[in-house]
Amino acid sequence: MNRGPWHQCGDRSQKLVVEQIEHGAGVGVILSTRDLSYQKAEQYAAIYHDLGAQVLIDLQFYVPGFTNISLASYPTHEYRAKISQMQPLSDNDLNGLTVALQEINQNINADGIISPAIIYQAGRPDTVQTNARLFSISKQVGDELGIPTYATVVLGKSVTSSDKTLEEILSPATSLLADGWYFIFEFDPERIPSQVESVSRCCIAGLRLACTGRPVLHAYAGPMALLSFGFGANAAGIGHCQNLWKFCPERWQPQRRRTGGTKAPARFFSRSLWGTIVYPDEVARMSIGLQEQILTSSPFSTQITPGKPFLSITRWNANKHLVHAICSTVAEIAAVNEPRINATQAISLLQEAVKLHGTIVDTGLTLRDNTNVYQENWRLVLNELLENQSSDFDYLELLRT
């Protein structure tokens, strides 16, 4: 598993990812079967490989009863409905699913197998059993193809609500003979996870997986990828839109038709704030000095210069800028393969972000989107992680010697 930022694909991600890799951002790509047909997945996988990126495909069995046109194009589709009934798959079903998994991963030349899995739920031993069966056939495919098999550990909110339920799921999950982990943590609905308790549990769970000595891909990390390497992850999934910044099961539920609504202004991601700011509305109210600190650049925001006339940036180009900015920072952190140091790097960035947000508040400006509510809490979480889980960090150091 390549170490560093990975592109978590979603709606309209494919060409965006090509541009990012061409500009040096990202070491791998996670294809989304919800958003990309089987035929297109084969085509784009070849393009990403040609650009030097590793490629994995997430078959997204999380909510197996859900289907759409893209999912229906895959040979694994017929087994989703059977799994949604939570009944044991017959030998014929298991054999058919094994063949389908092999076909898909072989045709996209996958660099590893992401085991299909449903959401782990507290008090549901059947979810543990189903995921163990799905992993078993995935491992068979991975061994046959000569590539690693990553067990999907997708922790639903009923699991993450307490330390006890978290441990009850992590124990059987980590007993799987996986070559690594595709780690997903469900948070309460909010734009970016900010609650100390839930972010702390996410980091502790990720650290627990990392202490198995096998690589962890923190999926649907988004801006929280800043923390991923500090809890021992080897890779973090970064996407362009908010429903890729954290795991949202609602993406695999029937969608309501959207009506009306106004066109929202672009949100500019600032590396120094580690958050977004409305452009140009909020930026225009700041001094040139503040603008120089906030308007961090990327190849997708070259038209924006502090103190110069405000040129428009589309929401789509703002998304491209966000992905590049996060990937660039994450790559800098990942360049050092030491979780303790990675956590300290993130803490330093967050400390500076908190100071800068404080300076903005002192000017009387309140930023929209609660874009300053999580940085200090993330800093606290990492500090506590370093202090309370010191023995785990010691163990990770031993694993790397």
What is the separation of C-alpha 143 from the centre of its chain, rounded to a whole number of angstroms?
26
Q: List the domain boundaries for the chain.
A: 4-252, 266-390
Whether the CA torsion 342, 343, 348, 353 is positive or negative: it is: positive
DSSP, residue by residue, 333-351 = HHTS--HHHHHHHHHHHHH
Give me the CATH topology for the region 4-252. Answer: TIM Barrel (3.20.20)
Residue 17 · residue 240 · CB < 8 Å: no
In whole angstroms, give the CA distance from residue 47 to residue 309. 38
In whole angstroms, give the CA distance from residue 96 to residue 78. 10
Q: Give buried/exposed letters for 70-107 (b at 16+ CB in 10 A, else e).
A: bbeebbbbebbebbeeeeebeeebbebbbebbbebbeb
pTM of the complete model: 0.96
Strands 149-155 and 113-114: parallel
Q: How many residues does the chain have?
A: 401
Q: List the chain pLDDT tens, one digit each, 401 residues.
A: 999 999 999 988 999 999 999 999 999 999 999 999 999 999 999 999 999 999 999 999 999 989 999 999 999 999 988 888 767 788 899 999 999 999 999 999 999 999 999 999 998 999 999 999 999 999 999 999 999 999 999 999 999 988 999 999 999 999 999 999 999 999 998 999 999 999 999 999 999 999 999 999 999 999 999 999 999 999 999 999 998 999 988 888 876 655 555 577 889 999 999 999 998 889 889 999 999 999 999 999 988 877 776 667 889 999 999 999 999 999 999 999 999 999 999 999 999 999 999 999 999 999 988 899 999 999 999 999 999 999 999 999 999 87
What is the separation of C-alpha 349 from the centre of its chain, rounded to a whole number of angstroms?
20
